[in-house]
Amino acid sequence: MLFSEILKDLDWEETGKSIYAKTSRDVERALAKAQTPGAEINLEDFKALVSPAAAAAPYLETMAGLSRTATQKKFGKTIQFYIPLYLSNACTNHCIYCGFNHENKFTRVTLTDEQIMEECKVLKQMGYEHLLLLTGESPKEAGIDYLEHAMQLVSPYFAQISLEVQPMDTPDYERLRKSGLHAVYVYQETYNKERYKFYHPAGMKRNYEWRLNTQDRLGLANVNKIGLGALLGLEDWRIEAFCMAMHLRHLQKTYWRSKYCVAFPRMRPHEGEGYQPQHVVSDKEFCQMIWAFRLLDDEVEMSLTTRESRDFRNHMVSLGITSISAGSQTDPGGYAHPNTEVAQFEINDNRSPVEMKKMIEEQGYEVVWKDWDKVYDFHDVKA
């Protein structure tokens, strides 16, 4: 069964009511389970952990401590480093919250082979082994053929290649695995089907179900790692978190050979033009969400991008996060030729990888530049 079949029975309003009705007793029950070896946090417990009742200071402190212990137990005192490489900012979609929106008039760039290699040279000098390739969603400029070729170009130089591009079909993912695909991240933005149409008024991204079932298609293609998430700031984060938890559980049960990563891109209020988040998520609420996920699942990877502030990232290193980017540019060609004309989102933490590494090591953690080799990705790929 695909996830859209499961989610269609969820009533957004009623789910919200049941989360807001959770009491301190429900939170204590969930936390007691989290401290009992062998006990499993279920989705009702998860509702309690993301509810306003769990936002009380003593509960948050307990959640933070448990999240730290659970993360260290599974991942050690380590943080993985990865770097995004934007290949193209061409996009046919009209997402109202994004700088790459089709209606924004600026020069669209899709990197040539030479430009890709120029970027890679800079990223290798920074020390990166885990590369995340990103594009807008424009199959004409950056479709399957372009992506396959780009992956073949960069593959010899990096240990791990991941994608954050338009959703594709299972045979396309199978094809890309042969060129070194390790992981794919696709964010639903919002799980609220009605509101989804408002945020995505035109373009192929308007198809809610096609996007929602992308992780199923990735699971069917046996992609090693599958990422999911919601864009925080669009709708009520507590209900989005619950839908993500449902999604994660469905995928883990159905495609148990893949690993999973959740990410929480967060919009912040900003000055000037552009879409303002209607449901601002505070730092405290953001922490609550991350810790709730760690108590739900001690194996799921969680990443934090440079959207977040320096202070916030410093604090979260030891509290549940497993991977982080540093020194990121969000405009294509921006590493070799920094250009701030149009970026997909505002970067809040401009520290270099060297500075981030120092901060992480000062907390007694180790930076992992490489935790994988492509040879493991190919064990079941037919030539």
Cβ 156 vs Cβ 126: under 8 Å: no
185 binds ligand SF4 (CB under 6 A): no
137 binds ligand SF4 (CB under 6 A): yes
Max Cα–Cα distance, the chain, nearest Å: 60
Of 101 and 325, CB closest to ligand SF4: 101
Of 88 and 160, CB closest to ligand SF4: 88
Angle between helices 237-254 and 12-20 (to 10 degrees): 110
Among 54, 64, 87, 91, binds ligand SF4 (CB under 6 A): 91
| Least Cβ distance, residue 203 to ligand SF4 (angstroms) | 7
Which residues partner with 226 through β-bridges? 184, 260
**Contact stretch for ligand SF4 (CB under 6 A) within 7-15, 67-75, 91-99, 354-362:** 91-99
Of 95 and 261, CB closest to ligand SF4: 95
How far from the centroid of its chain's Cα atoms is residue 217's Cα? 17
Of 62 and 303, CB closest to ligand SF4: 303
62 binds ligand SF4 (CB under 6 A): no
Of 93 and 224, CB closest to ligand SF4: 93
How far from the centroid of its chain's Cα atoms is residue 335's Cα? 22
Burial of 366 (0-12, 13-18, 19+ CB in 10 A): exposed
CB half-sphere exposure, 316, CA atoms < 13 A:
25
Of 93 and 179, CB closest to ligand SF4: 93
Among 95, 176, 232, 321, binds ligand SF4 (CB under 6 A): 95
Measured distance CA(191)–CA(205) in Å, rounded? 13
Which residue reads 């988040």 in tokens? 277
233 binds ligand SF4 (CB under 6 A): no
Q: Taking CB under 6 A as the rule, which mask of x and - marks residues 201-220 in contact with ligand SF4? A: ----x---------------
**Contact stretch for ligand SF4 (CB under 6 A) within 75-83, 87-95, 212-220, 347-355:** 87-95
Which DSSP symbol is given to 304?
Answer: E
Of 200 and 225, CB closest to ligand SF4: 200
Among 93, 162, 288, 306, binds ligand SF4 (CB under 6 A): 93
Q: Which one-letter amino acid corresponds to residue 62?
A: T
- Count of residues that bind ligand SF4 according to CB under 6 A: 9
- What is the phi-psi region of residue 297: left when phi exceeds 0, alpha when psi lies from -120 to 50, beta otherwise? beta
Instruction: Write out the two tokens for 304.
Output: 């934090």
| Least Cβ distance, residue 277 to ligand SF4 (angstroms) | 14
Which DSSP symbol is given to 107?
Answer: -
Measured distance CA(296)–CA(67) in Å, rounded? 10
> Contact positions toward ligand SF4, by CB under 6 A?
91, 93, 95, 98, 100-101, 136-137, 205
